[in-house]
A and B are shown apart, each in its own frame.
Chain A
Amino acid sequence: MNLITVFLAIAVITILLIPFLQAKGKGVVLLTAIVLNAFLSGYLAIESLSEELSAFAFSGSLVTGPVNIRIDALAGWFILIINFVFITGGFYGLFYMKTYRNQTNNLSLHSIAFVLLHTALVSLCVIQNSIVFLVAWEIMAFSAFLLVIFEHEKMATLRAGWNYLIQSHVSIVFLMIGFIWVAFKTGSYDFIAITAYTSANQGAPGLLLFLCFFVAFAIKAGFVPFHTWLPYAHPAAPAHVSGIMSGVIIKIGIFGILRMITLIKVDFYTIGLIILIFSVISGLYGVMLAIVQHNLKKLLAYHSIENIGIIGMGIGIGCIGIGNGNAWLASLGFAGALFHTLNHALFKSLLFFTAGNVYQATHTLHIEHLGGLIKKMPQTALLFLIAAIAICGIPPFNGFISEFIIYNGFYHWMKDGLVGPLMTIIFSVLALVLIGGLAMLCFTKAFGIVFLGNPRQKFHHEVKEVPAMQLLPLYLIAFLIISIGVIPQIFLNALALPVNLLAGFSVNAGLPFQDQITGILQPLNWGIWIFILIILATFVIRKFAMQNRKVVVNTTWGCGYVQPTVKIQYTASSFVRAYSKLFRPILMTSKTEKEVEGIFPTGGMYETHIYDRIEKYFIDNPIAAYKAFLGRFLFLQNGRLQFYILYGIIFIVSIICIPYFYDQIVLFFEFIKQI
């Protein structure tokens, strides 16, 4: 019995056990299983990050051929991220799901799907056989679907789930095409066949194959324009599932792309440019739409698209580095991408969990209805603030480190020196800077409106902080966010092997990455420490200076107006009004308003709805056209039995007749040929 069998056995036993337990027991068993499996897989993953490649071979079945399991450094890195987010998410979920304790059956399904998802995600990282990979992929997609539709009595949730399920299957179609293509040409389902095939067929086939896989994985990762499922699925799911979806499920798409980079041998320069273009568009488009969202979780979902864009930029630079034979550039790009994957998993899951806290306390996620929560939920507010600063890529938190590496990649690429690349660089840098600025606009809005000021609405229930145990995993994530920001070296050392693998060095060829990245980050680190010291010093001075000062508490200055109501506060829409006016050509806002008129004005109203322009042109319009086309055949399904019998008869007759007529036609042509 090896570790893999134990891993699968734990999952199976848990799944069998869950239906027979009480609600509380389900949660405990689920978490135990996740933790056990996380330690098992984590053990192998950590080993793989320190130069030991663990590989297992199973004989497989007649259909699949031998199944190889290989835990290389890339898989190790992702497994660790998956495990961390699942443990914190599972722990958080225990408390988040308390409200739903009476829905026993629903909870069983949810818990089973949760374990399945974890098992499938970890397996996806290590499986080296395309058929088994597809099976695991399907399990992953389907169990995620089950998790999303937990509140299936709501129509919107179901629709979001279906949307996700359908788009996942579009992704699977592309994956299948890719795998079948390779299997058809080489006769093997092993991943090595992909390398063999593409190194034998350089040029167009390799490129096309890569694009096929790229589209498949891009749908999962949420690159624009394949992102449209994401803003629906994330808000519909329970908070811990949203955190996991954004933290790791979309990252499996990134993993897929990276895995294919290690397998497929093509012209990486072109690939890099393609990925870079997609990423820049994703990054900008994601954050542009995020700003105008009214639903807190939807806002966060669009930010996932933005961050996928940033990760993609790293991957793009990495590919270009491979293509140019510039190992250091490749290392910088991939290091930035992998590191940002970790960072995004951390701060985005934290943001979703805190959004879950807000939802639990207020039962709404509509930003305009919230406000002043920092007084009722100070800890949640603080955690959200940390994550918000981190996601904007501002020091001293983790987001800055990975963005700094990516910036370094761009500026290093500049030494390349041709006009074409230089223009690409300058516009990508422009995009990255704009993304940072827009993210800041977005999160000052989100934090400012939701947590600061006065409550905009009276709730009929008490709004209070969630229990301390529920905050525990959140503090753990926040701790990691801060420690990565302050001492990134430890985490970057773990990155050395995955980066070498991607950038194409052999393990034993020395590790240029480790020394150089330390060389780049050490002074930055000093800077960050000095910065923290300055902040602390200023605090101390302030504290000292304020010791004997008079502190008065009074109302906010209202320019002489002494009876302010909460309604005069700035709203989220007004905060971003100037922005949405400027970006009107890109955004799609429909608005209904009734102005306040007359001497004794009656109630006016103003309502805006945001829609995704790409979704309209890329998804809705084609589907509408398709439906219109199929609508032409609607007369066939007229509900009359006689017609259906007629169809049956026509079918039977044609089955019998077509071969006969075929023979006749063939005969006829031969006759003509003879003439």
Chain B
Amino acid sequence: MLSLILIIIAASFFTGIIIRVKSLASGRKGPGVFQPLKDVSRLFKKGVVYSETTSFVFQIAPTIYFSSVVMAMLVVPFGQSKGIISFNGDFIFFAYVLALGKFFSIISAMDTGSSFEGMGASREALYSMFAEPAFFILMGSLALLTGHTSFQEMFAALHIGSYISYALAILGAFVLMMVAMVENSRMPIDDPKTHLELTMVHEVMILDNSGFDLGLILTAGYLKFALYGALVVNLFIGVFPYQYSIPMFFVIQLVLASGVGLIESFMARFRMSHNAQFIFVLTSVSLLIFFGVLLILGKFA
């Protein structure tokens, strides 16, 4: 329950901070931190335009996409406090529920019959396919390290003790954050502020969405960012009491958001054709974590 509230709060400012940081970095004043929320609430009040090519798939997809993100939020714990549901193997459920949302967002893009949206859909499908193994191996390593298979038990049992485990936690945070970048289509995989449809991934998939549906998709995007941020936070706060862990949560989310903003200000997007390889590299990083866990547990001896 606690995690749900915290994620929603974090989601409300996360994207705003990214935009603010980018503005400051480029020497502008920039909009307020809550501007994204205002944008979304404006969208919720608007009418919609549907393409004549589309079918019911296009109309139900945003709803399902949004619901899948909300469902995934319910599974994520906060340190000692469980998510709303928590069970053995809930991280599998987490990944597959998000996959349902992705499935629908991909086919809804193809529903419009637009070549641009097909392009985005194709990229999204390929990238998310490559990103998932990294997540599963990371979770597998944590399961091996802690002997548990649910998010909450795993994170609660994480004790950062030796140097190797520091390295592992940092690598784990890196993998999770990069997975988040892939899932949210941000730099260095995708540039949400690009002006050419040919070079977009996520943005081009929702070209034809409007009004309430677009609002749902954007909200889901904000939530998704905070969601992955919460997972990263969970890697570090395992045993701390709430009076430390809750401030830590916000500090880490802030650091992550401004990090994303800075990266987007000073880095160029990767070449589209090299993205897949890059994402697959994440899998090898998570394999590295796995070997690290084997080392800690002394399996090689």
Contact = CB atoms under 8 A, between A and B. Distances in A.
A520 B90 CA distance: 10
A468 interface: no
Interface of chain A: mostly helix, strand, loop or mixed: helix
A372 to B, nearest CB: 7
A75 interface: no
A374 B283 contact: no
Contacts of B136: 429-430, 433
Contact of B126 (A381, A441, A526, A555): A441
A417 B299 contact: yes
Contact of A549 (B46, B118, B207, B216): B46
A527 B129 contact: no
Interface in A519-567: 520, 523-524, 526-527, 530-531, 534-535, 538-539, 542, 545-546, 549-559, 564, 566
A574 interface: yes
B1 to A, nearest CB: 13
A86 interface: no
B57 interface: yes
B93 A389 contact: no
Contact of A434 (B75, B115, B133): B133
Contact of A404 (B92, B100, B106, B115): B92
Contacts of B264: none
Nearest to B109: A448
A574 B287 contact: no
Contact of A538 (B67, B110, B290): B67
Contacts of B46: 549
Interface stretch (A103-111, A393-401, A504-512): A393-401
A486 to B, nearest CB: 14
B185 to A, nearest CB: 15
A578 interface: yes
A428 B57 CA distance: 34
Given A441-B125, A453-B110, A557-B208, A407 B92 contact: yes
Given A419-B300, A531-B71, A438 B96 contact: no
Interface of chain B: mostly helix, strand, loop or mixed: helix
Contacts of B137: 426, 429-430
Given A422-B294, A444-B110, A570-B119, 18 more contacts: A404-B93, A429-B136, A440-B99, A441-B126, A448-B118, A453-B113, A526-B85, A527-B90, A531-B97, A535-B67, A539-B60, A546-B212, A552-B47, A553-B49, A553-B51, A558-B114, A578-B273, A579-B126
B100 A395 contact: yes
B50 A523 contact: no
A371 B140 CA distance: 41
B122 A546 contact: no
A392 interface: yes
A205 interface: no
Interface in B83-136: 84-90, 92-93, 96-97, 99-100, 102-103, 106-107, 110-119, 121-123, 125-126, 128-130, 132-133, 136
A576 interface: yes
A551 B50 contact: yes
A587 B246 CA distance: 50
B67 A549 contact: no
26 contacts: A385-B107, A411-B143, A426-B287, A429-B136, A433-B133, A436-B96, A437-B130, A440-B99, A440-B103, A441-B126, A444-B125, A448-B121, A523-B85, A527-B74, A527-B85, A531-B67, A531-B71, A538-B216, A549-B47, A551-B49, A553-B49, A556-B52, A569-B115, A569-B118, A574-B118, A575-B121
A360 interface: no
Contact of B71 (A445, A530, A564, A582): A530
B47 to A, nearest CB: 3
Nearest to B111: A452
A564 B113 CA distance: 10
A374 to B, nearest CB: 4
A569 B129 contact: no
B58 to A, nearest CB: 9
Contacts of B122: 570, 574-578
A450 B3 CA distance: 42
A555 B207 CA distance: 12
Contact of B52 (A393, A408, A554, A558): A554
B110 A400 contact: no
A448 B107 contact: yes
Interface residues of B, number: 84
Contact of B87 (A378, A436, A524, A576): A524
B176 interface: no
A404 B136 CA distance: 13
A404 B130 contact: no
Given A430-B283, A447-B107, A578-B273, A556 B208 contact: yes
A425 B290 CA distance: 11
B245 interface: no
Contacts of A551: 47-50
B102 A440 contact: yes
A415 interface: yes
Given A530-B74, A538-B63, A550-B47, A438 B53 contact: no
A403 to B, nearest CB: 8
Contacts of B294: 419, 422
Interface string B34-56: 00000000001011111111111
A527 B93 contact: yes
A87 to B, nearest CB: 30
Interface string B209-250: 001110010000000000000000000000000000000000
A441 B50 contact: no
B107 A523 contact: no
A422 B92 contact: no
A418 interface: yes
A634 interface: no
A161 B141 CA distance: 47
B179 interface: no
A497 B119 CA distance: 49
A568 interface: yes
